[in-house]
Structure 1
Amino acid sequence: MAPPPPRSTTVTASITALSTTPPPSMTSPPLGDLPLSPVDFPLQPAHTSAAIWDGVARRASDWLEAHGLSARDAVLLLPFAQHLKPARVAWMKLSRWQPRIETTRSLASALGPSPLPHAQQITEDAAIDALAARTLLSGQTWAEALRKEDPRAYDAAVQRLVEAAHALARAAALRDPALRSGFWEQGRQGLAQQSGVGHLERALLAVALEWAAADPRAPATDALFALRPSAWLHLQCGGPDPLAEALLASADAAGIPCLRLNADLPLDAAFDGGAPVGRIEQAVCDDFEDLAQCSAASVLDHLQAGRAPVALIAQDRVLLRRVRALLERQGLGIQDETGWTLATTAPAAQLMAMLRAARREATVDDWLAWLKTPLAASLREKGGSASLSALEAHCRRRGWSVPQAVRADRLPQGSERLWEAAREALVPLQLRGAQPLETWIAALGQTLQQLGADEQLKRQPAGGPQVLEALWLSKTPWPGSGHEAVLRGAQLGASEFVDWVSQTLEAGEYKPPLEGGLQIMITPLARTMLRPFGAIVLPGADAATLGPVPPGPVLIGDTFAREIGLPTVEGKRQALAWQFAQLLRAPAVTLLRRGHLGSEPLAASPLVDRLDLALQAAGHVLPHWHDPRIEASVPAAHVDRAAAQAQGRLPSTLSASAVESLRQCPYQFFARVLLGLREAGELDVQADKRDYGTWLHAVLHQFHTERVDGRDPQLDDEGRLQRAAQDQMRELGLAPAEFLPYSASFARFVPAYLGWLSEREADGQRFERGEVDRRVRPWAEIEPALSELALLGRIDRIDDAPHGQLLIDYKTGSLKGLKDKVANPLEDTQLAVYAVLMDAADSDAPAALHAQYLALDDSKGIAEIEHEHVKETAAVMLDGLRQDLMAIHGGEALPALGEGVACAYCEMRGLCRRDDWDGAAP
């Protein structure tokens, strides 16, 4: 490059000087006469985003030519990489020699790579640096005390330390290398003067400061300060750029001419020069969905009007996901510059599902979630097409909530193969104790290879290769690098490894490729500046979304940040205002927001209020957006209660619960029994009352069976009952810690039950059989249409009593509910069905048949609730059931009754549309 002229001056030129007609070069003021501070200017049509680059090129070229500076040896620095193309195109129009047009980052990358971090040096990888930070803190007594006392607080402290160290390292890299040591000393002095910070926070910040300061590497941007171009030119937009400011100050001190072009707009006085350049409008929407639909409609309206591409500003990512989903239905070309968190991609979710299943504390739900993913496709092939659904059905039916409870020998053959193959596949990931991180990564790679999932991830376009790379499965660290040191040295337990994978994926980024021509660009507010968009749509222009600035590191307060020159809240807020003001250069801007957040009113963003005031000061108003959506009137439809037809269609079997459904609500019977619809049961890890009831039934059956068989006669009844309790807890896979509340109830139950049993045996009552399965065809002889229909059920217990045979059904529910059930015997279905099963299936059944519910967890002890005259009740029920079934067979409708408790808790309520009936309660 040519040597600089002897005289040097840093010059700041306002964009006011930019115009469509270049000023004569001979009339340009000398260097010393150019203004040294920004000059405010009115917004003019020539200063829109689309035209401003021509003015930038002309003003910079004229300045270089007027002062005899070599353009080809000059450097023009721009705010973002997206500005490079329009700037170069604008300069080509001048047919003059171009300077080197770069950003600070692109120029530094061209000059040479950044040095690799070594052991204990900051890598800028949050998950890797968190592990390195643990090593730094391992020698600190206060940190070790915190780790032992509160592991969660320790983990949070490590994250805050890494966050602060990264912020300090980035801030130091923006300084002049000659002044960097002063930055660190200023930081130490500022930390020593802090008085309002807790001891823990101060200690963590001190470690972060010294960790960042101890890094001897020179950032790649340091090479910029050694350059000696003929001139530095810098375009400022969106507020000062610290690195560019430091570079220009250093160049000025070295005698290199510098020109700063300031494109910032003062929001409060943006319209002092006249009317708005483009069309600006705002809309207030009702709720989240209305805001999403209006945003999508606004984008489509701009595209239809020929204003393309449209910039869709990503202020609220949750809202943007919904807006994007609406726009993708139109087949538009959408590019997302913000990217997605790698953890939100399908490959990452599948990998995390597998890792969650490999944990020791995993649930059966975790296993099923993993087995349903594409990563487990090879396992499903081993079991067969229906093996997974059968496995899930068995687990839900038997209540197996943890993998240890699953009995493979009780599964169908295909499901057994699937389960055993899944167990074998996860063996590499079930290491014991702490292991080096690279050992865990190798184990993960081995598991993926065994499943054939590594090749599958490589083929998944939506983030698969990026996931493998982020987790060091498809790449290796450089020898001697900081990454290699952490991968080899960090010792992690199983749960810590899963946390590391999660953090790594959260920190990763995936940018979906553009398919088709560009029509919509999703981008942050800052990156819309000076770009030739046809229109800009900003959803979320409210006080909760557009206005609050992102917080800085927790450990770095605003006062300390101001002392050492880090971004403060005030500075961020001013930068946001500059970025927002640049929207005014666009041909069309639509601002949309919600008027309410729930039941609370939601105000407009302070920036929108300032824009409105600036327009009013210039004699204009902020117009309301015209909704382009087409309204269509949909007449209200009369909805009557549902009814089903099942002529000639009857089930082959009926249980007591099916009979109860028919008596409660015919439509419920239609859905549950005739259609076979079921609500999938939850596999809760925490034991509930249902688990307790199932377990207690099994305990009593084992107790009485072993007692009748005379097994282990040396055991007394209490010991036998306690042993049965432990056996059944293991059989059902119930963890003692989770079952503790019910174990305490069982401790009270044992003496109460044994006392009741002793009294009944003294009266001559004896246990005969338990868990008795019955299946009968009660109408085979009298009704041909029902001859093949069978009643079936399992009776908890049959006793021999002095007054006849006694059916007992164990209950762990409310005693009052049981009494209410048998208060009107004709309303009790269960014991009546059991009586039918006994009387019809056993030709030797005694004439005297009795039935009772036995309440096992009543606070006053064991309670008996007798169903009187159960044989007569069973006969009435059987005849009424025959009539109902024949009516169904003949084509009589099965209406939804919509009454009573059975309707309130019915899982078929959505199927019969109960809440949509005329006259239904709102």
Structure 2
Amino acid sequence: MDGLREAERDGASSVTCLPLDARHGAATIWSRVAEQAGRWLTERGLQSRDAVLILPFAQHLAPARRAWMQQGRWLPRVETTHSLASALAPSGLAEALQITFDAAIDALSAKALLAQQSWAQALRRQDGRAFDLAVDRLVEAAQQLLRAAHQRAPQQREAFWAEARIAVQAETPGRFESALAQVALEWAASDARPAATDVLFDLRPSAWIVLQAGGADPLAQALLRRAAERGIPALALIADVALDEVAHAPALLEQALCEDFEDLAQCSAASVLAHLHAGRAPVALIAQDRVLLRRVRALLERRGVGLADETGWTLATSPAAAHLMSLLRACSAQASLDEWLALLKSEPCRQLRGHLDEQALPALEALCRKRGWRTPQSVRFDDLSEASLSLWRLARSAVRQFTEGPAERSLQDWLDGLKQLLQRLQADEPLLALDAGQALLDALWLQRQPWPGSAHEHMLLNTELDHAGFLAWIDQTLEAQQYLPPAPDQAQVIVTPLARAMLRPFGAIVLPGADAQLGAATAGPALISDRLATRLGLPSLQQRREASALAFAQLLRADALTLLRCTRQGSEPLAASPLLDRLSMALQQAGLAGMQVWSDPRAATEIAPRPQGRAAAQAPGRVPASLSASAIESLRDCPYQFFARVQLKLQDSPELEAELDKSDYGSWLHALLHRFHEQRGEQPDAELLTKLADELAKDLAPAEFLPYRSSFDRFAVRYLEWLAAHEAAGAQYEAGEQSRELQPWADASHALAPLVLRGRLDRIDRQADGSLLLIDYKTGSAARLKEKVARPPEDTQLAVYAALMRDAGAMLQAQYLALDDSSGIVAVNHAEVEQSAALLLNGLEQDLLAMEQGAPLPALGEGRACGFCEMRGLCRRDDWSEEAL
């Protein structure tokens, strides 16, 4: 028989190995499999209906069965190892502390095991993060070792564990790692229950036939060896093709070179659409990079392309998980107001919102931002509308019942409480309506119960966690669970990993990301070195690399293959995958045509430039009713900024979660100095200043305010020294935080008569000569302040304050007081401030009258104010043409 050869295995036993022709494409390879296997069975007088054909993946079952039916033969039992084992017998249940292959439950079991190790508990006390990392590595290694044992015949496992103990003891990269590896080994070896696939070793079909693609499967090889030992005919059909010995190439083999990430995504989507337009459906889209794939998927879905995703995504990234986590974060005692508002907007609270006015939540959020509330405890009920108050109280009441009770509870108690919380919020139905909602509830045991006596039940009942630990367990569980979205009935594009694309009859294959990452071996367990893996028969680094090369070589069976990659990553050049280099050399040695340059099917659209001129506005008759010093300064800096900020009243919505910055520090210093001067008495100044600083700091986030509070002692010494010298010169504090108003043009016949100037003066001192000194506290540098007053008529703030005080009946002086300059407390005087105030009012009157009559308010587009203007996007400063500049 053509190509048939006999290979002796295990002494007297034999397994027939039959290489399949590499020239067959994915559409015809299954006919070849059925033909060769059927001929082999016929020559030995074996009934195909009593034989078993084992395939690499479940996606191979349908094409293999169709090919057998087309041969007109009885079908053998066509299965994968796992589907056959599941059909023959149920899987054994993991008992307490046994490995479940559920990462979150196994992590709890690992912590329980390490609780018996003094060296591990010492690490837990010293470095909690290092301990958690050790737990992850322990679980990873134990699961890998147990999987390796299950891929061997039951009779060989004792020998495997004995060899593993010798090998692990010989591997000593470090005392801690060695101890962890031995715990992982003994944990895995203690699991004596039969593997789910052990039932396969007792099966006695008329023949075993295994299709090998992408490298040898240890379990399938073990089944063949066991069959040969028992005298059962065994056949291995080898569909692997060495990449360096390619003798066949797709009819269309092309490569696209892209400039960056977005170009790669767009070219990938365009390539898929081009294949579909040419009638090559379905198209396989190989999942190499999940971020890139999300972008490609979005581009294709815009064009109405039906996609089936075989890779899925973790439950933690699903909408249902996001809404559930928003609920749990709001249940924390440290929850911020932003997290509470996120909860009220989420799906779990949809039913609560449905019973109330739809404006209740927006009104509540607007009020929180306006008042600057940062924590749920700071919300004042007197300021809330009835609907907003009802929504707030309903949610707070539901969460309070969940959080009441002991700080640490069993995991089952936490889950029971979560179920009750969802019921109180009527959240089950909204969560189920979201993508992955049912999968999430099942993964967290919220709609089902673990089997009695199982490892899951044991850990749920016996693991004590606080709220943070429960939140971490939820997150770990969702991260470990994959969600596969339902596929459309007629999928035009199938998203699949590289390995699962082998031997499938796709019309075309598109592989984006064929750069240096393609073919790179994934890392193995950290506690199992490559040398140890080789000794134990686990996949080594070289074997994993070769498996990637074999899977890539299988893509050449497709009729059309498009490879896309970026040439650069940022400013650095990005090399092609070594697999592409090997493919190019193999094609050249075989005398085949090389890869074509991809022809971009995208149509270029020319967009005529539209230069933008300098922005300007007109607002006749819209002079504001009142102006502050900052509004007047805005008018002087840029009239268009004044138009947007003051007349249109546009402003950024304040952040609830904004971190403390220099402006918060400045506000704190203003409040501190005002209280200090108002309360000065017999108590020593230094003691009073420190006491007041501690009181005011309680209202701020301690961790964020720490850098500012730590420099307070130096500031206090400097300020008290400056104050002593200031008062020694005859100055005395008179008032602080004074709100003043002025109607500069109060004449009823004046067009600006109703306009009011308003301001709040930080501090007013009476000097020895009877004049008043206006002081404005600043936390900026003294150099900047000196620049401001170098040309007195150009300084706005102190001039406005002087104008507000012009009826005080005393001479006026003014100064900025730099509180945190590197050289200490620095006073920066504004010379002739009363003259500056008169000039300012005169100029302001002319500007406002012109504005009243419709004079344009142009965007100046220059100066320091333009660089930090929040209205820059409105005036389109960055889009102005050169003529407008």
Q: TM-score under structure 1 normalisation?
A: 0.90
Match of 1:749 in 2: 715
SS in 2 for 1:230: coil
Pick aligned residue for 1:769 from 718, 735, 760? 735
Aligned amino acid, residue 444 of structure 1: L
Match of 1:815 in 2: 782
Match of 1:874 in 2: 837
How far apart are the structure 1 equivalents of 2:883 and 2:191? 71
Match of 2:414 in 1: 440
SS in 2 for 1:649: coil
Q: Does 1:132 align with 2:109?
A: yes
Distance 1:168 1:285, change over 3 A: same
How far apart are the structure 1 equivalents of 2:730 and 2:777? 20
Q: Does 1:724 align with 2:696?
A: no
The Cα of 1:892 is off from its aligned counterpart by 2.7
Aligned amino acid, residue 911 of structure 1: L
How big is each residue's C-alpha offset from its partner over 1:747-775, in whole Å with a ceiling of 9 and x where there is no partner?
23334444544555555544343322334
SS in 1 for 2:650: coil
Match of 2:525 in 1: 553
Gaps (5+ residues) in structure 2? none
Pick aligned residue for 2:797 from 817, 820, 830? 830
The Cα of 1:780 is off from its aligned counterpart by 4.4
Is the contact between residue 50 and residue 76 of structure 2 (CA under 8 Å) also seen in structure 1? yes
Distance 1:549 1:645, change over 3 A: farther
Match of 1:600 in 2: 572
Match of 1:563 in 2: 535
The Cα of 1:900 is off from its aligned counterpart by 1.6
The Cα of 1:574 is off from its aligned counterpart by 1.2
Match of 1:220 in 2: 196
The Cα of 1:851 is off from its aligned counterpart by 2.7
Distance 1:858 1:67, change over 3 A: closer
Distance 1:836 1:385, change over 3 A: farther
SS in 1 for 2:28: helix
Is the contact between residue 169 and residue 182 of structure 2 (CA under 8 Å) also seen in structure 1? no
Match of 2:706 in 1: 740
Distance 1:753 1:389, change over 3 A: farther
Is the contact between residue 42 and residue 270 of structure 1 (CA under 8 Å) also seen in structure 2? no
Across the aligned residues of Structure 1 and Structure 2, the Cα RMSD in angstroms comes to 2.9
Match of 2:808 in 1: 845
How far apart are the structure 1 equivalents of 2:725 and 2:470? 59
The Cα of 1:331 is off from its aligned counterpart by 1.0
Q: Does 1:579 align with 2:542?
A: no
Q: How many residues align?
A: 879
Is the contact between residue 235 and residue 261 of structure 1 (CA under 8 Å) also seen in structure 2? yes
Aligned amino acid, residue 550 of structure 1: T
Q: Does 1:97 align with 2:69?
A: no
Match of 1:182 in 2: 159
Is the contact between residue 8 and residue 14 of structure 2 (CA under 8 Å) also seen in structure 1? no
Pick aligned residue for 1:251 from 206, 227, 231? 227
SS in 2 for 1:426: helix
How far apart are the structure 2 equivalents of 1:887 and 1:48? 81
How far apart are the structure 1 equivalents of 2:527 and 2:791? 70
Is the contact between residue 399 and residue 691 of structure 1 (CA under 8 Å) also seen in structure 2? no
Distance 1:425 1:777, change over 3 A: farther
Q: Does 1:60 align with 2:49?
A: no
Match of 1:452 in 2: 426
Distance 1:30 1:819, change over 3 A: closer
Distance 1:357 1:29, change over 3 A: closer
Is the contact between residue 382 and residue 417 of structure 1 (CA under 8 Å) also seen in structure 2? no
The Cα of 1:531 is off from its aligned counterpart by 1.0
Q: TM-score under structure 2 normalisation?
A: 0.93
SS in 2 for 1:854: strand
Aligned amino acid, residue 351 of structure 1: L
How far apart are the structure 1 equivalents of 2:453 and 2:674? 66
How far apart are the structure 2 equivalents of 1:659 and 1:422? 45
The Cα of 1:386 is off from its aligned counterpart by 4.8
Match of 2:178 in 1: 202
Is the contact between residue 118 and residue 481 of structure 1 (CA under 8 Å) also seen in structure 2? yes
Match of 1:500 in 2: 473
The Cα of 1:458 is off from its aligned counterpart by 1.8
Is the contact between residue 611 and residue 879 of structure 2 (CA under 8 Å) also seen in structure 1? no
How big is each residue's C-alpha offset from its partner over 1:56-95, in whole Å with a ceiling of 9 and x where there is no partner?
2222222222322122211111111111111111122223
The Cα of 1:467 is off from its aligned counterpart by 1.5
Match of 2:28 in 1: 51
How big is each residue's C-alpha offset from its partner over 1:15-65, in whole Å with a ceiling of 9 and x where there is no partner?
x68xxxxxxxxxx99999x99675666643xx1111121222222222222
Is the contact between residue 773 and residue 815 of structure 2 (CA under 8 Å) also seen in structure 1? yes
How far apart are the structure 1 equivalents of 2:413 and 2:751? 68
SS in 2 for 1:129: helix
Q: Does 1:893 align with 2:828?
A: no
The Cα of 1:542 is off from its aligned counterpart by 0.9
How far apart are the structure 2 equivalents of 1:891 and 1:516? 64
Match of 1:672 in 2: 645
How far apart are the structure 2 equivalents of 1:902 and 1:316? 43
Is the contact between residue 382 and residue 418 of structure 1 (CA under 8 Å) also seen in structure 2? no
Pick aligned residue for 2:282 from 309, 332, 335? 309
Aligned amino acid, residue 501 of structure 2: T
How big is each residue's C-alpha offset from its partner over 1:133-166, in whole Å with a ceiling of 9 and x where there is no partner?
0000001111111111211111100000001111
Match of 1:166 in 2: 143
Match of 1:589 in 2: 561
SS in 2 for 1:260: strand
Pick aligned residue for 1:152 from 120, 129, 133? 129
Pick aligned residue for 1:338 from 294, 305, 311? 311
Aligned amino acid, residue 790 of structure 1: V
Q: Does 1:653 align with 2:653?
A: no
Aligned amino acid, residue 585 of structure 2: L
Q: Does 1:699 align with 2:665?
A: no
Identity %: 56
How far apart are the structure 2 equivalents of 1:319 and 1:729? 46
How far apart are the structure 1 equivalents of 2:37 and 2:675? 93
Distance 1:115 1:40, change over 3 A: closer
Alignment of 1:73-472 (within 5 A): 73-195=50-172, 197-271=173-247, 276-377=249-350, 385-386=358-359, 388-389=361-362, 391-392=364-365, 396=369, 400-403=373-376, 421-427=394-400, 428-429=402-403, 433-460=407-434, 462-472=435-445
SS in 2 for 1:637: coil
| Comparing 616-625 and 546-555, the one that deviates more | 616-625
Is the contact between residue 19 and residue 237 of structure 2 (CA under 8 Å) also seen in structure 1? no
The Cα of 1:682 is off from its aligned counterpart by 4.5
Aligned amino acid, residue 532 of structure 2: F
Aligned amino acid, residue 838 of structure 1: M
SS in 2 for 1:220: coil
Match of 2:763 in 1: 797
Is the contact between residue 401 and residue 685 of structure 1 (CA under 8 Å) also seen in structure 2? no
Is the contact between residue 359 and residue 430 of structure 1 (CA under 8 Å) also seen in structure 2? no
Is the contact between residue 315 and residue 321 of structure 2 (CA under 8 Å) also seen in structure 1? yes
How far apart are the structure 1 equivalents of 2:333 and 2:452? 34
Distance 1:97 1:860, change over 3 A: closer
Match of 1:474 in 2: 447
Distance 1:192 1:792, change over 3 A: same
Distance 1:637 1:376, change over 3 A: same
Is the contact between residue 358 and residue 430 of structure 1 (CA under 8 Å) also seen in structure 2? no
Distance 1:87 1:355, change over 3 A: same
The Cα of 1:246 is off from its aligned counterpart by 0.4
Is the contact between residue 7 and residue 14 of structure 2 (CA under 8 Å) also seen in structure 1? no
Gaps (5+ residues) in structure 1? 1-12, 18-27, 708-712
The Cα of 1:432 is off from its aligned counterpart by 5.6
